[in-house]
Amino acid sequence: MVERSIYRSIKFALPALFIALFTSVAFAQIERCPYIENPAHREPLSPHVKERMIELCIRDTKKDFEELVARTEQLAKLTDEITASFKENKELSGEDREKLAEAEKLLDKIRDELRADDDGDDDDKKEPTSVVEAIEMLSKNTARLVGEIKKTTRHSISAVAVQSSNTVLKLVKWLRFTN
């Protein structure tokens, strides 16, 4: 008899626990939406208004992620152009240096979106010894960055992407200010 009452208690308590857990997760997601203000400061929002605000948040995060992917693809295109120009001319031209400056600006935006900081912790600790080596490293690390960004979702942040963006930024700066 006692075993049945324990079983019944568990049978009803477990689903209630799961419902409470998932409800708190849903409220936590709503709280992170910038469109929904703190309800303590004003009247409660209707369910339709909350739903629309959440839809706006989802749309904005999708748009932000699409912009991140577009920026990394644009960075890859710039890197390919710089690499091709360097192979043809055997030196960096003024136009290449302008492209490097544009790449640096793109990298700053990419790193902001990835919430990256300059912690000085790099996988590739060695600095390039020549422009040829720096161009090769730039091409390789940019491809790595683009690959990582395309593998992630808008809900995640890749540590490899952050690390690659830091490495690419250091290489771009090295190329801009060397020679």
Look over the chain and give the mean of its residue pLDDT values, rounded to a whole number: 80
**Is position 172 within any domain?**
yes
The more confidently predicted of residues 27 and 157 is: 157
Q: What is the domain range of residue 150?
A: 62-177
**pLDDT at 49 (0 to 100):** 81
Mean pLDDT over 88-99 rounds to 91
pLDDT, tens digit, for every residue of 25-76? 344 444 456 656 555 556 667 788 888 888 888 898 889 899 999 999 999 9
The end-to-end CA distance of the chain, in Å, is 87
**Is position 44 within any domain?**
no
The token duo for 42 is 């004003």
**pLDDT at 106 (0 to 100):** 94
**pLDDT at 48 (0 to 100):** 86
**pLDDT at 39 (0 to 100):** 53
**pLDDT at 83 (0 to 100):** 94
**Is position 131 within any domain?**
yes
**Is position 130 within any domain?**
yes
Asked if the model's pLDDT at residue 147 lies above 80, the reply is yes
**Is position 32 within any domain?**
no
**pLDDT at 27 (0 to 100):** 42
**Is position 10 within any domain?**
no
**pLDDT at 171 (0 to 100):** 92
**Is position 81 within any domain?**
yes
pLDDT, tens digit, for every residue of 96-115? 999 999 999 999 999 888 88
Asked if the model's pLDDT at residue 133 lies above 90, the reply is yes
* Domains identified in the chain, total number: 1
The token duo for 125 is 């600790």
**Is position 5 within any domain?**
no
